[in-house]
Structure 1
Amino acid sequence: MPDINSFQGSYANEEPVTEKQFVADGILPPEQVGQLRPSDPNLPIEELRERLEKDNYLFLKGLLPREDVLKAREGYFKFLSPSGVLKPGTEPVEGIFDMSKDIAGFPGIGAGGTAGNGKPGGDQAAVFVDLALQAHMEDFYAEDFCKHPALISFIAKLTGWGDNTLMFRRSLLRNNIPGAHAIGVHYDQIFLRHGDSVSNITAWCPMGDIKVTGGGLIYLENSKSIGQEIEAEFFRKAEEVCFTDEEAKYAFNSNMMATGLLSEEPSAFAKQFNRRWLVSAYEAGDVVLHDAFAIHASTINKDPEGVIRLATDLRFCDSSRPYDKRWCNFYRVGDGV
């Protein structure tokens, strides 16, 4: 990887991505793929703010202690091991999928695979899904990881919110089994409409190393303005059909896809807006902060060793401004968000 302090512009010194990027509508062509710009968290705070504003994301290398992230990863897979998800003879922290099992029994949470944020997988996946949901409330995650002081203090400083920095209790702790359904194209404000649109930020935290082919998040370059335009158009349509305020804010209303997504086809979406998808490998301890209108998705996990991609979306707001109080509760299926 290039020196993270050597970038002078969005794509200066960018190295080509040679690995194939699999998405729901095929393989992203080379002209649709670029590289995320990494940043050192120790750079001057004003420079980091400028990067976030310019790029709509901030890819922070090693913000969290690696050992703390791996401890949470180990706790998660120990907790889910009764479901049979792990390959026999491997360590929980490795998170290696038992490839002899049917992936249909191990669906991702909140990945746009079910309408209205319903419960995925049916009866065959019940044990796995129930454990994955319960994991959101376990201390190894909800207390030790989500409330990590290195993350909270950094966001409070970067945003300038200080003591008004509020981390929403609702988070999205998601696993991505090799070959399973990828996360569709979306921006986060779709699901945060009951608050204002200027004081939300998401911290996407890989909980373990993720190869560039391992199903990590991908970001549509320079997409904040596109997200804002799409959101404005959604509300124009809502007004035309006389939606109530509540109906207009609902992420799964009739003007939206049933899953709340913009598209299930990242390649076609990139072509429509003439933008590239920016990708990267990730390491335990990395964090990507992104704007609420930054458009993102994920690739299909093609890890050759069967490593399960585990990551979480932690969302923060300025509590001195109106915010979406639906996010003050733990994640549950069918919660309208």
Structure 2
Amino acid sequence: MLTSNGHVLDESERRLGELRPVPDAERRDRDALWERLRRDGYLFLRGALDPEVVLGFRGYYHRTLAPSGVWGRAEDRAEYRRLLFREVVPGPEYAAFCAQPAVRDWYAWFLGGETFLHRRKLIRHVRPGESGVGTATQAHYDLVYLREGTDRVLSSWIPLGDCPVRRGGLIYLEGSHHRVLARERAGTLRHPAASITADLPGLADDHDARWLLADYRAGDMVVHSAYTVHAALDNVDDDYRLSTDIRYQRAADPIDWRWQRHWHDHDGL
């Protein structure tokens, strides 16, 4: 049974499907990739990164957070937050991971010029068994949080380790970017920075669309449009889900300068 924030997803063929990886024949065809991104709202790039690099960063995260007791029964939440927001997030290891050549050079090639990586980058750590409203990422599209810059900013979601469906990876509402873009242009969508809903099955019914999911592996990367609705499943596995989402754009396009400070969960964005 698949759930998100405690809501049970409809697993019928009308409401659930699989993300389609980019075929090997298109991986080096920029025009084909742009056509796919405009059509689907996402690019699922299997094996885009070196799995050893991904697992190496996961190991660094695991070791760095260990003094907080997060891996045991006596967790010090204050120490966990200190290590996360003062050491890991602003640290050189995380910066190097997000700007590694496999990511940085791919974006330079795909965007066709100088790129800009937003400093505000998020790490998601979801423990096994966490459920209920507020525990999994609710349905949203990124533009509502990035309105002071270009709408052509692209997000990369990178699982930091294997992330089977049971571990609560990211899922995408099929074709949602077309509807969102049309309603944005018509001015019929609310503009405050807020999630759409925690009720994923209800949203799928409203859009008459499927949620798309995948068993992710270390090294995978999903690139998605700022208009594509996405969310996360609950983690019902026996291991924690670790992932990061980062954002690249053309350097010449308008930049949302609110995103040029390191991420903190109290930063208001």
Per the normalisation by structure 2, the TM-score is 0.90
Shift of 1:279: 0.3
Of 148, 158, 169, the residue aligned with 1:216 is 169
Trace 1:135-154 onto structure 2 (pairs within 5 A): 135-142=88-95, 144-154=96-106
Q: 1:30 aligns with which of 11, 14, 21?
A: 11
In structure 2, the residue matched to 1:286 is 220
1:265 aligns with 2:199: yes
Q: Choose from 29, 53, 62 the match for 1:68.
A: 53
Q: Tell me the distance in 1 between the aligned counterparts of 2:267 and 2:137.
A: 19
Distance between the aligned counterparts of 2:123 and 2:17, measured in 1? 26
CA distance in 2, matches of 1:298, 1:236: 25
The corresponding residue for 2:122 is 172
Aligned to 2:142: 188
Identity between Structure 1 and Structure 2 (%): 36
CA distance in 2 between counterparts of 1:232 and 1:222 reads 16
Match of 2:154 in 1: 201
Deviation at 1:266, TM superposition (A): 0.9
CA RMSD of superposed structures (Å): 2.0
Say whether 1:133 aligns with 2:85. Answer: yes
1:298 to 224, 232, 235: 232
**Larger relative contact order, structure 1 or 2 (CA cutoff 8 Å, min sep 6):** 2
User: How many Å apart are 1:333 and its aligned residue?
Assistant: 3.2
Distance 1:291 1:237 in 2: 17
Secondary structure of 1:333's aligned partner = coil
Residue-by-residue CA offset, 1:27-51 (whole Å, 9 max, x unaligned): 2112221000012473422222221
Aligned length: 260
Q: 1:332 deviation in Å? A: 2.1
Q: Which residue of 2 aligns with 1:91?
A: none
Deviation at 1:64, TM superposition (A): 0.7
**Which consecutive residues of structure 1, in runs of 5 or more, have no partner in the other structure?**
1-19, 87-97, 106-123, 239-247, 252-259
Decide which structure has the larger Cα Rg and report it: 1
Q: Distance in 2 between matches of 1:230 and 1:23?
A: 25
Q: Secondary structure at the match of 1:137?
A: coil
Q: Which residue among 39, 42, 45 is the counterpart of 1:57?
A: 42
Q: Does the 8 A contact of 2:48 with 2:221 survive in 1? A: yes
1:147-168 CA-partner distances (Å, limit 9, x unpaired):
10111111121122x12x1011
Counterpart pick for 1:83 among 68, 74, 92: 68
